[in-house]
Amino acid sequence: MKEIEDTSNSKPQFIRVVWCDNANIIRGKAIHVDTIKDKNISVGISRAQQGVPVMYDGVVDRSGLDPVGEITLKGDLRTLTPIPYAPGHSRVMGDMIKNGEVWGNCPRGFLKRMINNARDEGFDINAAFENEFYLLKTDENYEGIKTSDFTPFASTYSMDLNHEVIKDIVEALIAQKITVEQYYPESGPGQHEITIKYTDALNAADNQIIFRETVKAIAHEHGLRASFLPKLFSDTAGSGCHLHLSLWKDSVNILHNSKDKYGLSITGKQFIAGILNHLPSLMAISTPIPQSYRRILPQMWSGAFQVWGFNNREAAIRVIRADNGDIKHFEVKPVDESSNPYLALGAMIAAGMDGIRKNITLPEPIHKDPATLSSPEIGESGVKSLPSDMKEALNNLKENKTILGAIGPELSKSYLAVKNAEYEELIKLPDEKEVDLLLEKY
């Protein structure tokens, strides 16, 4: 078995085999190290797990799943990592296996398949999730939810107030081999953003799981709660999880072409066009709870319109051009932390590759805030609003044969069943009740 680096001066005891389900709940089972033989880190779980919604531990109707039968959750040894905030525990990411093969309901297996499909056509995708989150007080003397401070965007005073907890989060991420690039307080009171370096697509999704777990655990150690909910407060900024993507061939980033009018390669344009074309359906996966759509509003820097632009923070896809004109990556804005990263990233790759295969044309970029366009400008440019509620996005996904075909029949069926059940229940709840239900989940 691979040696576990002892970063906590504690003898290794348990290895957690972790998975992320259709409701985007990070789950795990821990195996004691003394019972592991022949490098086989695996555990059985009920096949019904992929039919469980965020509201309760029961199987939803129409998921195609029931409590009868088990699958194997097999740990990926390449991801074996000591957990710095849980002495004696390590973590591996789990793949769902049935009859010796990756189960059709496995989100991580889906992402692997999309990566391999792209690789078979000569392409590699690098990615990074850009997380925003709130730090909340847990003092029982406070009524309701209170933020850790009330400072504005990029406040250095906020940096000072939250120095210890942010320092410990960053150190814990680095200890888990995640490269941290930037940190700053965001515009909401008690809201923060920590950006991590891009990597290959599978590692990016694995890192997103580690990031969410680490931030919550370290916040708890400091007497705080961390929340990734997309719209925690109605009157402050929401928390997004913008997805940064780049396209590679033969170890070379191929997005840029200096001879093109806009500096984009033909293949890069097609890849971006595929994502833009499918975005109204992709949002059922990347922004998958009712609360998500309270964040995605015009003039809120959240990408409420189906457009792209250069460094345009109101466009759903922001192509990032460096000072020297080079284009190395682009950002998809309608993504938040209520989404399963394996499903969200896998679906984006499927959409981008569809753009390449079908030579989908990228429309002209929008150079201004889409919300300020006049009626003639809207008619001329063909600007459309993205879905304004979860039900609209779910209906779009239900009719999207390309994306559902990529996901596969089993996972498509269980995912749509879970998300429709969640929508029907969550939409009934007052905002405060919804936050109470979801606060510890995301």
Predicted confidence at residue 385, as pLDDT, reads 86
**Of 58-62, 65-69, 149-153, 174-178, which gets the smallest average pLDDT?**
65-69
Residue position matching structure tokens 């925690």: 232
Residue 179 has pLDDT above 60, yes or no: yes
Predicted confidence at residue 142, as pLDDT, reads 47
Give the domain ranges of the chain.
Answer: 14-103, 115-437
Q: Provide, rounded to the nearest whole percent, the portion of the chain with pLDDT above 70.
A: 96
Predicted confidence at residue 4, as pLDDT, reads 39
The C-alpha angle with vertex 90 and arms to 86 and 92, in degrees rounded to 5, equals 135
223/297: higher pLDDT: 223
User: How sure is the predictor about 141, in pLDDT bands with cuts at 50, 70 and 90?
Assistant: low
Residue 7 has pLDDT above 70, yes or no: no
Predicted confidence at residue 289, as pLDDT, reads 95
Predicted confidence at residue 2, as pLDDT, reads 39
Interval 39-59: pLDDT, tens: 889 999 999 999 999 999 889
What's 115-437's CATH class? alpha beta
What token pair was written down for 19? 């998975």
Predicted confidence at residue 113, as pLDDT, reads 98
Average pLDDT over residues 409-424: 96
User: How sure is the predictor about 8, in pLDDT bands with cuts at 50, 70 and 90?
Assistant: very low
What token pair was written down for 423? 């929508």
Phi-psi region of 322 (alpha: psi -120 to 50; beta: other; left: phi over 0): beta
User: How sure is the predictor about 369, in pLDDT bands with cuts at 50, 70 and 90?
Assistant: confident
The C-alpha angle with vertex 67 and arms to 66 and 68, in degrees rounded to 5, equals 95
Q: Provide, rounded to the nearest whole percent, the portion of the chain with pLDDT above 90.
A: 73
Average pLDDT over residues 142-154: 81
Parallel/antiparallel/unpaired status of strands 42-46 and 70-75: antiparallel
Interval 238-250: pLDDT, tens: 999 999 999 999 9
The CATH superfamily of 14-103 is Glutamine synthetase, N-terminal domain (3.10.20.70)
Average pLDDT over residues 140-148: 70
Distance CA 350, CA 201 (A): 12
Strand ranges for 33-141 from DSSP E: 42-46, 70-75, 81-82, 89-98, 101-102, 124-137
Q: Burial level of 192, CB count in 10 A (0-12/13-18/19+)?
A: buried
